[in-house]
Structure 1
Amino acid sequence: GASRALPEGGERPLGRTVAGTEVVAWRAADGTLVAGPGACPHLGAPLRESPVRCGTLICRWHGLPLDGAPSAGWRPYPAYDDGVLLWVRLDEAGGETPLERPVVPARPDPRTAVDAVYTAVGRCEPEDVVANRLDPWHGAWLHPYSFVDLRVLDAPDPSAEAPEDGFTVEVSFKVAGRAVVPVQAVFTAPEPRTVVMHITGGEGTGSVVETHATPLSPDPAGRPRTAVVEAVVAASDRPGFAAARLAAPLLRPL
């Protein structure tokens, strides 16, 4: 989720179920991100409903304090805050070799950029989200109200000994009526469940749109569910963009 969803000094943790695993996250007293199993090791109380006091999570059932260190069988998960998104590493999910830290794409300077994070839940597998995002024709055919004049400039050659990881498109985003914003963008997949779009030409050059597909628990009918986390980090050299940054709290999804 979004880094700002866990403000420093906050008194409530975040609780999520990722790949069938309950996870709870909160800020330590120094603002560091802490994450671990979402059930209390005592009697299984849901820790997402517990308060945080001075960086320590206090189980609401019997008061077991958790400060982020291993305690009574509870052990933290590796966690990382990149300033836009919160990451928690679950070594038993995904099947990939664990990394020391997530692969965070190059982003605009946060001092001059606007970022926003939006999460939606779909009834699908993470692979479906990635395939959808990497299909350059999806937007043109199924979302003509948003995208026009799509042209693929280059794509990886699968027969190459070391094919490049990415393809480049030109596309125009509809704004209102006939008004459009043409851009050039490069799509890459730095991780198995992540797709990144870098704006490399046109309006907003340097801006980034990240799509992260996180597996959740199945729905009551046993069908897979995936959280689609979209992180946008926008930049612009237009004079009015500084004013837009001041209005960022009004622009971000609620």
Structure 2
Amino acid sequence: MRRRGRSDWATQTPTWRQARPALIDDALKRACARPSGNWFVVGASRDVRTGGHPCGRTVGGTEVVLWRSETGELRAGPGACPHLGAPLRESRVVCGTLVCHWHGLALDGGPFAGWEPFPVHDDGVLVWVRLDAVGGEEPSERPVVPERPAPGGGVDAVFTAVGRCEPQDVVANRLDPWHGSWFHPYSFVDLTVARPPLGDEDDAFVVDVSFRVTGRLVVPVRAEFTAPEPRTVVMRITEGEGSTSVVETHATPLTAEGAARPRTAVVEAVVAASGRRGFALARAAAPVLRP
């Protein structure tokens, strides 16, 4: 941590001259060409609780319902009851079985009367669902989960916002590191792109930046931005305080492809790590302090 001098927002660098549209567009094209296996992030793992109510999500115009069995195993499938189309997100979970609130039809997560479950994956931080009809790619057994700090060694938080845009707009925004200290001066200062992507073999924006703590106190780090699949951008701290910490941005389409007014869920997962002694206390207190 260091104390920095005062600076003028309007005269900072880098400027628009360094933020080359062609470079960003090429990085976006490479990201979009990578396989996703038809997996989509639908939210935080902790949002789907054992013994709790089901969760309803919309992905690419498809209604999805998620819940957990009595042993905590994740279940997912179409959001409409196969009987008369009741919204299953409003139903109840009884002993790990989803019971429709209209007529009591019970679903244990297996196929039933035309209701076919969706493949689902819980990576410990986020929940993913595979929708082959929406993705249109060759399906894969597991999603492309970014590398994170060792399990049990970090503190995670997940935030979701919805924007009127397409997933590619979100990815393009995250693959433009130059805008960071201009558009987010309350968080980032002294940003420099140390190295742009070199192509598929080394496709990362390497950035030197300081995170603003409070007032003029900042934490300088080196970070890299990568896109492991078409709807994910990862910022990973590689040097400095919090090394190995990641901020993942996942862009999940809510509307069907070609919608006149597309909407996208932006799911941001932060997994923070630190070698400081006090961080262990913060990690232990996280379940109590987390909203």
Aligned residues of 1:114 and 1:248 also touching (Cα < 8 A): yes
Does 1:9 find its partner at 2:51?
A: yes
User: In 1, distance between residues paired with 2:278 and 2:83?
Assistant: 55
Which amino acid in the other structure matches residue 100 of structure 2? C
1:76-225 counterparts in 2 under 5 A? 76-158=117-199, 162-217=200-255, 222-225=260-263
The farther-off stretch of 59-68 and 145-154 is 145-154
TM-score normalised to the size of structure 2? 0.82
Show structure 1 runs of 5+ residues with no match. none
Q: CA RMSD in A?
A: 1.5
Aligned residues of 1:173 and 1:180 also touching (Cα < 8 A): yes
The superposition leaves residues 165-190 of structure 1 with CA deviations (integer Å, 9 ceiling, x where unpaired) of 21211100111111001111111101
Q: Report the 3-state secondary structure (helix = DSSP H, G, I; strand = E; otherwise coil) of the residue aligned with 1:71.
A: coil
Q: Give 1:29 shift.
A: 2.3
Q: After TM superposition, where is structure 1 displaced by more than 6 Å over at least 4 residues in a row? A: none
Q: Give 1:247 shift.
A: 2.5
The superposition leaves residues 191-248 of structure 1 with CA deviations (integer Å, 9 ceiling, x where unpaired) of 1000011111111001111100000137xx9411100000011100011101111221
Which amino acid in the other structure matches residue 193 of structure 1? R
The equivalent position to 1:232 in structure 2, one of 270, 277, 286, is 270
Q: Give 1:112 shift.
A: 1.9
**What residue number does 1:41 align with?**
82
Which amino acid in the other structure matches residue 4 of structure 1? R
Q: Report the 3-state secondary structure (helix = DSSP H, G, I; strand = E; otherwise coil) of the residue aligned with 2:89.
A: helix
Q: Give 1:249 shift.
A: 3.3
Fraction of identical pairs, as percent: 72
Show structure 2 runs of 5+ residues with no match. 1-42
Higher relative contact order (CA 8 A, sep 6+): 2
The superposition leaves residues 5-56 of structure 1 with CA deviations (integer Å, 9 ceiling, x where unpaired) of 112232x100011110000000022211100000001100000000001110
Q: Which has the higher helix share?
A: 2
User: In 2, distance between residues paired with 1:173 and 1:204?
Assistant: 11
- Equivalent pairs counted in the alignment come to 247
